[in-house]
Chain A
Amino acid sequence: MFTRSLDAGAMAEPSPIQTNPAELLISGSYAVDLSAPLTEFGGGQSCFAVVDRMPSVRSGVKRDLMAVQVGPMAPPRPLAFTALAGAKFDYDMQPVAHGRAASAGGGYAWFVVCPQPPGPAVWPDAAQSIVPWSETDLLVHLIRPAALLLDQLDNVGVTHRAIRPNNVFRSRAGHPVSFGGGWSAPPAFLQPAAFEPPYSAMCHRAGRGGGSIADDVYALGVLMLALASGRMPMEGLDDETVIRRKLDRGSFSALTEGLRVSAAIADLARVMLAEDPDHRPLPSLLADPMAARARRVAARPAPRASRKLDVGSQSVWEARGLAAALASEPEAAVRLLRSQAVAAWLRRILNDHTAATAIEDAVRSRDAETSIDAVRADGLLLMTAVATLDPLAPLCWRGVALFPDGVGPMLAAEAANAAMMGRLEAMIAVEAIATWVDLHPNASNAAVMRLDARQMRMTLRIAGWSGGMARLRYSLNSHQPCLSPMLAGQCVVRLNDLLMAMENMVTASAENIVDREIAGFISARYQGRMDDDFTILARTEDPAIDPPGEHGMAQLRVVTRLGELQVTRAWPRLAAHILRAAKPGLRQWQSRATRQSREAALVAAAEAGQLPGMLMVLQDAQGLALDSEAAAASQAEISGIDRALRLLAEQGDARAIVSRNTGQEIAAAFGVIAMAASVMFAVRG
């Protein structure tokens, strides 16, 4: 549809023909018009009109463009961009470009540019109810276009995960809908709990993962119910209640409670809202709604216990409810599991011997576990118990629920939450994902997930600022802006933008221009290695131990290497800041004259903003070797002088004796001369 493909690589460079030099264009042609917000088109995200500065280049686009602003801690889905860009698609809101531009807050933000929807959302945000859609309208103008889109997405391996009433649009009644993008935030990030299957709804909203196309079918089913009835299903209920009701009664029963829909729509919704994603119709089947409707869900109702089990504040009657309760009440759950109360309830009350035996085995393994600390062992036990009781459940780790591919967005969304970061770190450290995958042998990409779990743990184990959670955050989220406080509002996503942002934001009061977040960002994005420098920077500088100016030198090396990636070569503010920190590094030269000459050269390079020049002045191994040799020679000379002075002082008496003897010998010589002269005169008369 569009001649221009996605090109994130060219976005940050200003276009040579742009009208406003200060304007940062996305992909060199799209300007975000912050004065024209499009509040009804963003699907819950900020959205602005876009002005195309190069309209002649773009052809075939019939609608105006808009830019959806990406949240600073909710990275977009670059894999989806790539998949969509490379596919021939009949999708009228396919993203055109994405990149960095000025935001309304005064700084910068990441934007996804796509065509504006053909009309308003099918369910405006403020609406309590709408006029119900007819059955024909639903089947022809909602289900069929949705089936077509989801089938195309499924073919390129992408899920939409943003099918909700405020993200589906149409120009007017009687026209097919258009689906807004789900690419400018993590999968299902903005989905209400009612529009997600219970196993996804119970996840942290950033950790829901890509899921499967069946999850989009589920959301489409809920949307269909809402439009068919004119009322929002499960409206006014909090997420926890929504999830519990869906687990207790089944999704279809819970969602249709109090709604009036036709039998045909109800039948179709029943299969689309099947608890097991494998039981939901494929998008290709949905293209023929009558055939999909005829499909019967063969799932049996879950066995219900005759007596409840209390888990913390919750009472449960069946296995999936028990799994959800264990996941949400981790402390009480571990106590119950380790006391074998859960296994006893499963065996005696629910009569599920298989699950009871599995839980007993897990508890025994936990009791025998000595290689990891008790808290992590309890976490593994809880995760195993939940996965055993509900194979559809996400990975539940000490009160956090997420799918393995949601770890990256979780690390971004909860970066400021130290407690959550601690739990995620423990989960990664014990490779809980690999254990979870082992409990799901039919998982489609088990080997990849195991490898990912191992790589995440290895990254976490890297010492210093090169590893840890910060690096993992950026490794797993290629479009996550750097979260360093120093770069607040700069939206640095690409490594090439980092140095310019640092140049703009560096302040005189900043102690270090490279902090843990920046180090993690660079480690994740930079192809070379800066581990040694980040190890130095991770240490608190101790003047008694560390060489002078070591931190400053490390910072200088880091920014110089980053500068090699840039066209611009002068960084005066950075250079001025680093000059202060790196100047003590001159003390590594022992010669005062060398220090003074190099200081002059360093200051000159700093004033010119030449980082490589500064590094050349400070980091000169050959010069240092010569200086050391000269210092050693000088020290030897000083020692020789000291010896000579000491000798001269000690030889005072000896010199006095020599002087006296010499004087006396001279006197004697005079005497001999006088005597000879006297004899000669006497003999001659």
Chain B
Amino acid sequence: MASKPVAPRNPGAANISTWLQGVACGVLFIVATPTAVLGVLLLMPTLLSFVADREQGRAVTRAVVLFGFAGSCAPFVSLWHTAHGMEDVWLLITDIRTLAIAWSAQALGWLLAQILPFFIGLIGEAKIRMEIARLQKRRDALAEEWSSAD
């Protein structure tokens, strides 16, 4: 599905939001560096999706981030149950299953965000075609019944 580039409705507000997000990220990196690093690594596809998704509301990114959080929840809990150091982060990310699960979950989110609209569109279109056929048939019957030709 082609995504439509959307211009920010209020450039000023968008700048403030971006600035606040940057500040939050900065604070997070300062206060909880391991968590932030783990989050950046595990949610890398989400960040890519955020950058690439130009649609208003970023619905695809929303699905990706939700699935990303779902796939990253266990590593974060594991990190928070340890000493919360960079070594723990290193141990987690060197476990290939951790990244695979997190990234696969985000891929699944992206995939669902892409194919679900397609299938729903197909179902809707099928229903519309059936309705059109029904109306056309009724119309033909009426036209034939009330035509002047014998």
Q: What residues of chain A have their CB less than 8 Å away from a CB belonging to chain B?
A: 587, 590-593, 595, 631, 634-635, 637-638, 641-642, 644-645, 648, 655-656, 658-668, 670-672, 674-675, 677-679, 681-683
Contacts and interface: CB of A to CB of B under 8 A. Distances in A.
Contacts of B145: 591-593, 634
Nearest to B144: A592
Given A590-B148, A631-B146, A674-B67, A681 B119 contact: no
A518 to B, nearest CB: 31
State the majority secondary structure of interface residues on B.
Answer: helix
A592 to B, nearest CB: 5
21 contacts: A592-B150, A595-B150, A634-B142, A635-B146, A637-B138, A641-B142, A645-B132, A655-B128, A660-B1, A661-B59, A664-B59, A667-B116, A668-B62, A668-B66, A670-B63, A671-B112, A674-B66, A674-B70, A674-B105, A678-B73, A681-B74
A675 B116 CA distance: 18
A659 B147 contact: no
B60 A677 contact: no
Contact of B146 (A590, A656, A661): A590
B146 to A, nearest CB: 5
B52 to A, nearest CB: 15
A674 B105 CA distance: 9
B145 to A, nearest CB: 5
B132 to A, nearest CB: 6
A671 B135 contact: no
Nearest to A662: B120
B139 interface: yes
A12 B84 CA distance: 131
Contacts of B45: none
Nearest to B147: A592
Contacts of A675: 66-67, 69-70, 73
A641 B109 contact: no
Contact of A656 (B59, B121, B136, B147): B121
Contact of B70 (A641, A663, A671): A671
Contacts of A595: 150
A662 B70 contact: no
Nearest to A671: B66
B70 A645 contact: no
Contacts of A665: 59
Nearest to B125: A655
Given A592-B145, A593-B145, A668-B63, 20 more contacts: A587-B148, A592-B147, A634-B146, A637-B142, A641-B136, A648-B131, A662-B116, A663-B117, A663-B118, A664-B63, A664-B117, A667-B59, A667-B63, A667-B116, A670-B63, A671-B65, A671-B67, A682-B74, A682-B77, A683-B77
Nearest to A649: B132
Query: Nearest 3 pairs between A and B by C-beta?
Result: A671-B66, A663-B117, A663-B116
Nearest to A632: B146
A591 B146 CA distance: 5
Interface in B84-140: 105, 109, 112-113, 115-121, 124-125, 128, 131-132, 135-136, 138-139
Contacts of B67: 670-671, 674-675
B121 A642 contact: no
Contacts of A667: 59, 63, 109, 112-113, 116
A662 to B, nearest CB: 5
A660 B146 contact: no
A544 to B, nearest CB: 14
A678 B148 CA distance: 70
A631 B146 CA distance: 7
A70 B3 CA distance: 105
Interface centre among B105, B113, B135 (most CB of A within 10 A): B113
B16 interface: no
B117 A678 contact: no
Contacts, number: 126
B34 interface: no
Contacts of A591: 145-146
A664 B113 contact: yes
Contacts of B139: 638, 641-642, 645
B143 A672 contact: no
Interface centre among A592, A642, A661, A677 (most CB of B within 10 A): A592
Given A590-B148, A592-B146, A671 B62 contact: yes
Contacts of A644: 135
Nearest to A679: B73
Given A655-B124, A667-B112, A638 B143 contact: yes
Contacts of A635: 146
Contacts of B71: 674, 678
Nearest to B74: A682
A645 B140 CA distance: 13
A671 B143 CA distance: 51
A419 to B, nearest CB: 47
Contacts of A662: 116-117, 120
A664 B150 CA distance: 54
B56 to A, nearest CB: 11
A508 to B, nearest CB: 22
A125 to B, nearest CB: 66
A656 to B, nearest CB: 6
Given A592-B147, A674-B105, A664 B73 contact: no
Contacts of A631: 146
Contacts of A666: 112, 116, 120
Contact of B124 (A590, A659, A677): A659
A659 to B, nearest CB: 4
A321 B117 CA distance: 117
A624 to B, nearest CB: 14
Nearest to A635: B146
B137 to A, nearest CB: 10
Contacts of A648: 128, 131-132
A644 B135 CA distance: 8
A681 B113 CA distance: 24
A682 B70 CA distance: 10
Interface string B27-43: 00000000000000000
Contacts of B135: 641, 644-645
A663 B119 contact: yes
A664 B116 contact: yes
A679 B145 CA distance: 65
B74 A668 contact: no
Nearest to A651: B128
A600 to B, nearest CB: 13
Interface centre among B69, B117, B143 (most CB of A within 10 A): B117
Contact of B117 (A638, A659, A679, A681): A659
A681 B72 CA distance: 12
A641 B135 CA distance: 6
A123 to B, nearest CB: 72
Nearest to B128: A648
B146 A682 contact: no
Contacts of B113: 663-664, 667-668
B66 A660 contact: no
Contacts of A670: 63, 66-67, 109, 112
Contacts of B120: 659-660, 662-663, 666
A647 to B, nearest CB: 10
B2 to A, nearest CB: 10
Contacts of B1: 660
A668 B59 contact: yes
